[in-house]
Structure 1
Amino acid sequence: MKKLRAKEDTLKDFSFYLNTDSLAEDRMVSDSAFTKTLVRALQVKNSFYYPFDSVVGISKLYAPDTSFRIFSWVIAYDDYYVRQRGAIQLRTPDGSLKLLPLRDFSEFTEKPLDSVRTRNNWIGAMYYNIIK
C-alpha cells in the first residue's frame, strides 16, 4: 500500500501537467512519464483494488462485476488535435498484473460508428461510466 501511495503522488503530478501545461512538448513528456509510472504502479501485487483517487483528469472505472477496470485520458497536442490513451486492467486471482493497452486508431478509420474493434485499433474515448 505504501508503494502505491508513493506512485499515486507521482501520477498525480504527471496528470496535472499532462492536462494543464501550456507547451505541447511538455504535455507529451508528462504523458510518457505518466504511462510508464502507471504501468509500474499496476505491477504492484493486488494493485487492482487500489483506487488512485487523488489522480484527477484521468478516468478510472470498474466494470459492474469488477472483472476489469479501464483507465482513459486525453492528451491535447494543440487546440485541434487530441489523442486518447487507455488501458484495461483485468482482475487476476493471484493479484498479478494483466494489462491490455489500448491503441487510439481514430484518425485511421473511415467508419468509427460501424465497426468491430480490438484493443489494437480502438476508437479512442474518455470513459465516464460503464453500464451493465
Structure 2
Amino acid sequence: MIRMQGFTVLLVCLLSTSAMAQRLSPADLAALTQAEDSLRAVHYDVVNGKVQEFRSSRNDQFIPQFVKTLKTRYSFYYPFDSIRTMAKVYPQDSTFRVITWQLENDNSTFRHFGVIQMNTKDGSLKLFPLFDNSDFTRNTDTVTNARGWYGCLYYAIIQRHYFNSEFYTLFGWDANSQTSQKKIAEMLTFKNGEPVFGGPFFSFAEDTVPKPGRNRFIMEYKREAVASLNYNPEMDMIVFDHLISETGEELKKYTLVPDLDYEGFKWKAGKWVHIEKVFHDALQQGKVPVGEPMNKQKVDITRPRTAEDINKETLEKEAQKGKKKKKNDN
C-alpha cells in the first residue's frame, strides 16, 4: 500500500510539474512563488500560534490573501507544497482539489476551513468555500452542500466510476476535543456542478445482523489512541480498526481503542458494503492496548498513520520485547 501510494504521489507530482510548466507563465509562476512564501508564514501562525485570539486573527488574514492568490490564472497547477500546515488531496481525474486546514480553540476543540478548487479549462478561478457546520448539528448522518460541510482535514481520496457518474470517497481526520478524535469517510459527488457531501453509500446489509446504511461513516475514539481508516489498494477495499471500550462502556466514544482487529468496506454496485472481519488477529478478550499520549509536535496533520504503519510498529515492539526477554533468560 505504501509503495503504491508513494508511486501515485510521485506520478501526480511529475504530472503537476509538467502541467505547471506548460500552463503557468513565468510571471505568474514567480508571483505565486512569492505569494506562497508570505502565505506559509501566516498559516504557520494559524496552526501554531500560542493563543486563540492570535490564531484566529492570522486565519482571518490568511483566507482573503489565499483566495486572491488563487485568482492567478491556472493556479490549480501550483501545489503550494511548502505550506505543510494545509492538507491537499486530488482525485485521479484531477478535475478538482480539496484544500483543508484546522484552527484550534483554547478549549482544545477545533474548527475547520477549506475550499474545493475546480480545474477549469481557461485557468479562471472556480472555488467552493467550505463552511464547517459540525459544531452546530446533532445529526452527523446528513447529506449536505458546501455550507453544511462536516469539517475535517482530508488526507486521502479515491475515485470510483459507476453508471456514467463519478464518485469520490474522502478520508478525513478531526482532532475533535480533549477526550476524543475522529476519522471520517464520506462520499463527494457533484450535482448540477455543485458539491454534495454524503449520501446512502455505506451499506451494512451483508452484516450477520444487518443494520441501516449510513450517509457518512465516522469513527470516534479515545484522544490518545491511534486508529486507521484508509483505502488499501492491494486489497481493493477500505480497511479500518475495530474498536473496543477500555471500560466496557461502548457508548462512551472516548473510551474506544483499537484491538488490532480490522473491518472494511468493499465497493459493490455503487456502494461501500461493510465487511465485518478483514483479518483474524484480534487481541484476546480483555487485553486492551495502551495508547501513547499525543505529541502535537510530532503529528503530521496531512498524513495520519496507516494500518501498515501501526502494524510495523507493533511488530518492532514485539521483536524488541522478545530480544529483551531472551537476554534476561540468559
**Partner SS state of residue 87, structure 1:** strand
Partner of 2:144: 117
Equivalent residue for 1:46, pick from 42, 66, 74: 74
Unaligned runs of 5+ in 1: none
In structure 1, what is the Cα distance between the partners aligned to 2:146 and 2:34?
Answer: 29
Partner of 1:71: 99
**Partner SS state of residue 112, structure 2:** strand
Q: Aligned letter for 1:103?
A: F
Partner of 2:50: 22
Higher percent of residues as strand: 2
Partner of 1:13: 41
Deviations 1:82-128 (A, max 9, x none): 1000100001010000000001000111121x210100100001000
Bigger radius of gyration among the two = 2
In structure 1, what is the Cα distance between the partners aligned to 2:109 and 2:152?
Answer: 14
In structure 1, what is the Cα distance between the partners aligned to 2:61 and 2:74?
Answer: 22
Alignment TM-score, normalising by the size of structure 2: 0.39
Structure 1 contact 103–119 (Cα < 8 Å) conserved: yes
Q: How many residues align?
A: 131
Aligned-residue CA RMSD (Å): 0.9
Deviates more, 1:89-98 or 1:76-85: 76-85
**Partner SS state of residue 117, structure 1:** coil
In structure 2, what is the Cα distance between the partners aligned to 1:48 and 1:101?
Answer: 15
Higher percent of residues as helix: 1
Residue 81 (structure 1) shift: 2.3
Equivalent residue for 1:127, pick from 150, 154, 161: 154
In structure 1, what is the Cα distance between the partners aligned to 2:61 and 2:88?
Answer: 18
Structure 1 contact 24–76 (Cα < 8 Å) conserved: yes
Structure 1 contact 73–84 (Cα < 8 Å) conserved: yes
User: Larger relative CO (CA 8 A, sep 6+): 1 or 2?
Assistant: 1
Partner of 1:55: 83
Deviations 1:32-54 (A, max 9, x none): 11111110110000000000000
In structure 2, what is the Cα distance between the partners aligned to 1:80 and 1:53?
Answer: 27
Structure 1 contact 15–56 (Cα < 8 Å) conserved: no
**Partner SS state of residue 117, structure 2:** strand
Q: Aligned letter for 1:17?
A: D
Residue 62 (structure 1) shift: 1.2
